[in-house]
Amino acid sequence: MNREEIKNLLPHREPMLLVDEITVDEEGTAHGLYRVRGDEFFLQGHFPGNPVVPGVILCEIMAQACGLLIGDEIKGKTPVYTGLDKVRFRNSVRPGDEIRVTARIERRMGNFFFAAAEAHVGDKLCVQGKLSFALLEG
């Protein structure tokens, strides 16, 4: 899926749509991509002369990839974080980097989803963690 196709599922829009491409394989694992252009709002003050993608943005990129795993079920609903566990930041992400996310749903309870995700730049692991989210009406 490209950005326009992703917009058919996720309610996020620019500047908060943080997945450029995504595929879901036969095992149900999402493989997402976000290219850090360098002009993003979150880099403007983080940090002048030494821009680094904030950790919370990396978590949001992983969360959006997780949301895309549930396909059409997310249409018309608002996904909201319910928790972050065991999140670890390993390497910085900078302008020009391509962030590759791998995500999978580990469990579901009604409208609550529990997922695992990680993000790499090249062969370097940048962040990993467990995410949970709920789907709210509207």
- Residue (of 75, 73, 87, 74) closest to 115 by Cα position: 87
Q: How far apart, in Å, are the Cα atoms of 91 and each of 55, 81, 95, 124?
A: 10, 23, 14, 7
Q: Which of 12, 31, 46, 120 is catalytic?
A: 46
Reply yes or no on whether 120 is catalytic. no
Alpha-carbon distance values, 131 to 33, 48, 75, 106 (Å): 18, 30, 20, 10
Active site residues: 46
